Chain A
Amino acid sequence: MVKEIEKSGIPVVHLCTIVPISKTVGANRIVPTIAIPYPLGNPTLTKKEEKELRRGIVEKAIIALETEITEQTVFQ
């Protein structure tokens, strides 16, 4: 799906936990996430801390979309 949308010229940032799969599939902008059942959260944290964690990842995703790249890039 990432590739098919990117083909249309719209940049896509892929947020996923298993980065090797994302690389194999061919995503260009990749941001690693927390865990498979909760990529953008962590149930052991308080709601407030969890949102902060999520904000950090989404901010990375936004930066990835603002960054010109020439090859597959993982934004750590």
Chain B
Amino acid sequence: MSKYKVVHYINQFYAGIGGEDMANYKPEKREGYVGPGQAFKSAFKGNAEICATIVCGDSYYNENMEEARKQILEMIKEEDPDLFIAGPAFNAGRYGMACGDIAKAVEKELGIKSFTGMYLENPGADSYKKDIYIIETKNSAAGMRKAVKKMTSFAMKLLDGKDILSPAEEGYIKRGIRKNIFAEKRGSERSVDMLIKKLNKEKFTTEYPMPKFDRVPPSPAIKDMSKAKIAIVTSGGIVPKHNPDNIESSSASKYGKYSIRRFKEVICDDYETAHGGYDPSYANEDADRVIPMDVLRDMEKSKRIGKLYDFFYTTTGNGTAVANSIAFASEIAQELKSEGVDAVILTST
């Protein structure tokens, strides 16, 4: 039996090229497997082989999406594989976006089966789950062994052209696809069964979960900006030098609130970033690159805005749990309201 050919996509970190300092690494094709590809190779047990690995820096992909996508599609086309696997990306946001985007493009534009793997809260999951199969993984590379096992058996199913079952059975993130099946009991009977279970406070599984619309309507615009009080909030991790409150570089469990009252202009020498998910050298050199305080002070002077609020709020948006972000922001919002802040500029890295 001839082996199936697989092309694998990984970022600069998993290729062993470097961390954030190498995140601008341009797409490159290497022969055979690289990094986590080795685990896939052994899991495939000779039924499929990784003929090539595409490596690309996370920042490069996300900042040049169209260009990166085009280059990588060319590289994959040359290999003419039976399957394309991206990641797994776990909870790495930019890596997840890149994996989702390229897997979607490979399937759509090249007609080659493809999928990826990541943690449910990775922004790449929400962005691409409707387009492609995304195997759910743990939030860090500690879950690599399990992820590879799940992804390999899923890969073999795709390669062998077997039926893909429900998300719960296969371990992929729900795509919102409905499939017709033959049920043993008819609908009326099934719904009465569910109702009885519900009345008896027993567990039951709905056949039609209500979609969760997680959107907030836009707040009204500011009528008179020259009287408005503006606050800065950032997920870019800007903190006073030496990070006095020890805000974590990733998976933050807290946020900071720091006074900028005494700063009239730039704040470059007093601040740095605690964020562990991007190259900190530029923000450390000049924090205005992340929180534009100098410009806002000028605008305050020229009456373009009414006032810059005396404090800014900060945390590191690097693998930070959604639940934590919600808790931080709801406290911040309450304070801002009671302080009479009219609008917020929120910067992200």
Contact = CB atoms under 8 A, between A and B. Distances in A.
A65 B294 CA distance: 19
Best-surrounded residue of A5, A58, A71 (most CB of chain B within 10 A): A5
Given A5-B336, A7-B333, A36 B63 contact: yes
Nearest to A40: B292
A15 B341 contact: no
A74 interface: no
Contacts of B329: 1-5
Given A17-B63, A28-B217, 5 more contacts: A4-B332, A11-B222, A28-B219, A37-B20, A40-B347
Contacts of A65: 221-222, 225, 228, 230, 343, 345
Contacts of A16: 347-349
A54 B218 contact: no
A21 B97 contact: yes
Given A24-B126, A36-B63, A54-B295, A13 B343 contact: yes
Given A36-B23, A39-B290, A41-B282, A61 B345 contact: yes
B219 to A, nearest CB: 4
B332 A5 contact: yes
A62 B299 contact: yes
Contacts of A35: 59, 63
B305 A8 contact: no
Contacts of B299: 58, 62
Contacts of A3: 214-216, 329
Count class of interface residues, chain B: 35 or more
B225 A7 contact: no
A21 B282 contact: no
Contacts of B336: 5, 8, 10
B38 interface: no
- Which are the 6 A-B pairs with shortest beta-carbon distances? A41-B289, A4-B329, A8-B333, A1-B329, A28-B218, A11-B219
Contacts of B294: 51, 54
Contacts of B59: 35-37
A38 to B, nearest CB: 4
Q: How large is the interface on A (under 10, 10 to 19, 20 to 34, 35 or more residues)?
A: 35 or more
B318 to A, nearest CB: 11
Nearest to B336: A10
B235 to A, nearest CB: 6
Contact of B94 (A1, A7, A18, A55): A18
B219 A58 contact: no
B250 interface: no
A10 B97 contact: no
Interface in A25-76: 25-29, 33, 35-41, 43, 50-51, 54-55, 57-59, 61-62, 65-73
B334 interface: yes
A26 B215 contact: yes
Given A12-B346, A37-B280, A1 B127 contact: no
Contacts of A10: 219, 333, 336-337, 341-344
Contact of A15 (B127, B283, B348): B348
